[in-house]
Amino acid sequence: GDSVAAGLGAERRKETLGGRLAKGMARRLRRPVRLRTAAVVGAESPDLADQLAGLPDGYAPHVAVIVVGGNDVTHRLPIAVSTQHLRDTILHLRGLGAEVVVGTCPDLGALRPVPQPLRRLISSVSRRLAEAQAETARSVRATPIDLRRAVGPMFFDDPDAMFSLDRFHPSPLGYRRTAEALLPAVCVAAEAALSSRRQPAPR
């Protein structure tokens, strides 16, 4: 994914979105969790293919979490282009045997440094992209989590605590709340993947 998936704004690795999810999964599932983050700061949905290509040969994750879309909005990428790349990525990951959870595009209207009326515009576009991402995810058997509804109000109500110093990326608390929103679905996905890989191969 993008800079949120990469954890930009967190002070320590364990405070990143991936770090929070890995720790939470290990606690809930009571087993070791190995985290690999392929996200790149500034990435857009078309960059997901390169992130997949950068994974080691034979790499087969049990569960993959995708968070992308903010840069698609700010760079005015057509929603149809964004969702096609998201669909291709999910299908690739499912082909590796992974369950996939998609954190949909957050509401960029929470970005106070962006002046009005531009902030209202990007809020509307980010909402439409999030809805399209959710529909795309469901169509290829991935699980979407609506981050706009799950954590968006927290970013609007308490921006000083939820945003890092740059006012564009989550703070450690922002990542914690985002991870909490994703964690239940990620654990369910991980358990489903573990169960399917334990099933004996058909004869």
In tens, the pLDDT along 127-140 reads 999 999 999 999 99
Span 137-161, pLDDT tens digits: 999 999 999 999 999 999 999 999 9
The amino acid present at 190, given as its one-letter code, is A
Query: Quick one: pLDDT band at residue 199, thresholds 50, 70, 90?
Result: low
**Torsional class of 58: left (φ above 0), alpha (ψ -120 to 50), beta (otherwise):** left
In the set 3, 45, 82, 126, the catalytic residue is: 3
- For residue 114, the model assigns a pLDDT of 86
Q: Is the pLDDT of residue 186 over 90?
A: yes
* % of the chain surpassing 90 pLDDT: 88
The pLDDT of residue 197 = 73
What six digits make up the tokens of 142?
Answer: 């991935």
Any idea which residue has 């996939």 for tokens?
A: 100
Distance of CA 178 to the CA centre of its chain: 9
- Tell me if residue 62 is catalytic: no
Whether 200 has a pLDDT exceeding 60, the answer reads no
Q: What's the chain's length in residues?
A: 203
Mean pLDDT of 186-198: 89
Known catalytic membership, residue 3: yes
What average pLDDT does the segment 164-175 reach? Answer: 93
The arithmetic mean of pLDDT across residues 79-103, rounded, is 97
Nearest-angstrom CA–CA distance, 123 and 100: 26
How many angstroms separate the CA atoms of 38 and 55, rounded? 7
Residue 113 clears pLDDT 90, i.e. is over it: no
Task: Indicate the pLDDT class of residue 201, thresholds 50, 70 and 90.
Answer: low
Q: 123, 126, 169, 171: which is the annotated catalytic residue? A: 169
Cα–Cα distance measured from residue 152 to residue 130, given in angstroms and rounded to the nearest whole number: 12
Which is the catalytic residue, given 50, 157, 158, 166? 166
Active site residue 45: no
What pLDDT score was predicted for residue 196? 82
The yes-or-no verdict on residue 115 having pLDDT over 90 is no
Q: Mean pLDDT, the chain, as a whole number?
A: 94
Mean pLDDT of the 85-106 span: 97
Beta strands in the chain (DSSP E): 63-67, 99-103, 143-145
